[in-house]
Structure 1
Amino acid sequence: MPVLAELIAALADGSVEVVDLTAPLSESTPILRLPEPFANTVPFALEEISRYDDRGPAWYWNDIRTGEHVGTHFDAPVHWVTGRDGEDVSQVRPGRLVAPAVVLDASAHAAADDDFLLQIDHVREWEKRHGPLPEGGWLLYRTGWDARAGDQDTFLNADENGPHTPGISAECARWLAEETPILGLGVETVGTDAGAAHGFEPPFPCHSYFLGAGKYGLTQLRNVDALPVRGAVLVATPLPIVGGSGSPARVLALVER
């Protein structure tokens, strides 16, 4: 049987499950908040054009207003100054939007410490148990933070010192971006960097190193706990916005059951 026919049959009989990793997109979707004097993105908004009424008797449709980096979204290299000469989101090759994924679960560490940082040794220990990081694939970093996504304040977890969310150390971010074969990093938090990453050297190292290396980011993922440690195939579908630094995305995983 041809490969695609086998896939269709597996989807139909449930031996391959499609897991939605995407957070619903609405006016209540949590968004990143930067301090003054920096500019902030607008939240998502749905503006009705017509709904089976005088404005359009047989149809319902809306305008949307949103930032590129609202909700579950894709970061393209040009999003960061280190990747300023790299791809915009419309230039990402389609073949890179379908790729293998592995899950590194640090949720126990994050539950004990909101500011937990993944280190190189954590990843190397994971590789000893589960095998190498995937060539041309995604590292999905599970922290359990998606459980907080229903409330902006709890999700951002900020106080007078700034946000407190788990992330990756600067040293580990550089190593992952420059010395491993993965094509991108996926997280459950509002951005790929830790809440305290504004104070790291360099600031926001996941953005700096991954996007500077021509790699990608996926943020505000859900249901990562439903994936196996390895073996899933990730399908990321950002809008091909010409000149765009990123896009809200529907992110799906194919999992063999």
Structure 2
Amino acid sequence: MTQLSELVAAVADGSIEVIDLTAPLQASTPILHLPEPFANTIPFSLEQISAYDDSGPGWYWNNIHTGEHVGTHVDAPNHWATGKDKGDITSAPVSRLIGPAVVLDVSDRVADNPDFLLEKDDVLAWQDQHGPLPENGWLLFRTGWDERSADSDRFLNVDDTGSHTPGVSVECAQWLAHETSLFGFGVETVGTDAGVAAGFDPMFPCHHFFLGAGKFGLTQLQNLAQLPPTGAVVVVAPLPIVGGSGSPARVLAMVQR
């Protein structure tokens, strides 16, 4: 058998499990809300063209209305000022959209602290236990936040002092972006940065450093609890929107059982 036929056979017999990491894309999918005077993305919606009726007696189809950064989506380098000359969503090498992924799980620490920040020492401790981060791969940051995804208010977690969602410290974001060979960084929250990251210096450091380094972000993932710390392979499939700063994506993981 060829390697590809072995892969197909392994998926068919269940020895390789395919896990969907993608949030359902629908009108209730939570979206980021920026404060005034900044402009915001539109939520996802369907506009019916026909449904077996006079407009199309034998077929059903829709127009879709959405932003690039809605639901499970990829951030391209040009999404941020620091990466404006580093490439749009079509610049991602397709060979890197299938690659190794590791999961760093801090869900036990986030449960009582929604403002939890991942620090460099946390990643170094993880590496001491599990080995190095994957070259040209993805670091997936599990916080347990996907449990909130069906309720937009709980997911965005905004109060009078602002948004409270877990993220990454400035030092850690800079180190991951510039001192590791990662291709991208993925999270379960609405964006790759913490809810309080507007107050950091620089603000939104994951965007600032990762995208500025020509790397990619991946947001609103689900089911990371089903992945092992190491050994998974992810397939990240954004739309090739020419000039786009990002795209909704289907994200699948393959795990050997």
Q: TM-score, normalised by structure 1?
A: 0.99
**2:161, 2:41 → 1: CA distance?**
21
Question: CA RMSD for the aligned pairs?
Answer: 0.5
Instruction: Tell me the equivalent position of 2:109.
Output: 109
- Summarize deviations over 1:61-97 as a string: whole Å, max 9, x none: 0000000000000000000000000110122111111
Instruction: Tell me the equivalent position of 1:125.
Output: 125
- Summarize deviations over 1:12-45 as a string: whole Å, max 9, x none: 1110011000000000000000000000000001
**2:102, 2:91 → 1: CA distance?**
25
**2:121, 2:23 → 1: CA distance?**
30
Question: Which consecutive unaligned segments of at least 5 residues does structure 1 have?
Answer: none
* Amino acid across the alignment from 2:242: V
**Structure 1 position 246 matched with structure 2 position 246:** yes
Instruction: Tell me the equivalent position of 1:177.
Output: 177
Instruction: Tell me the equivalent position of 2:72.
Output: 72
**1:5, 1:248 → 2: CA distance?**
29
**Structure 1 position 197 matched with structure 2 position 200:** no
DSSP-derived class of the 2:36 partner: coil
**1:29, 1:114 → 2: CA distance?**
20
**Structure 1 position 230 matched with structure 2 position 243:** no
Instruction: Tell me the equivalent position of 2:146.
Output: 146
Please, which moves more after superposition, 17-26 or 91-100?
91-100
* Amino acid across the alignment from 1:24: P
Instruction: Tell me the equivalent position of 1:58.
Output: 58
* Amino acid across the alignment from 2:55: R
**2:7, 2:87 → 1: CA distance?**
31
- Summarize deviations over 1:178-201 as a string: whole Å, max 9, x none: 001111100000000000000001
**1:39, 1:109 → 2: CA distance?**
33
Q: TM-score, normalised by structure 2?
A: 0.99
**2:162, 2:249 → 1: CA distance?**
27
DSSP-derived class of the 1:230 partner: coil
Tell me how far 1:2 sits from its aligned partner. Answer: 1.2
**2:207, 2:55 → 1: CA distance?**
44
**1:30, 1:210 → 2: CA distance?**
23
**2:121, 2:157 → 1: CA distance?**
27
**2:232, 2:181 → 1: CA distance?**
17
**1:252, 1:200 → 2: CA distance?**
32
**1:156, 1:17 → 2: CA distance?**
31
**2:91, 2:168 → 1: CA distance?**
27
**2:44, 2:32 → 1: CA distance?**
12
**1:63, 1:91 → 2: CA distance?**
26
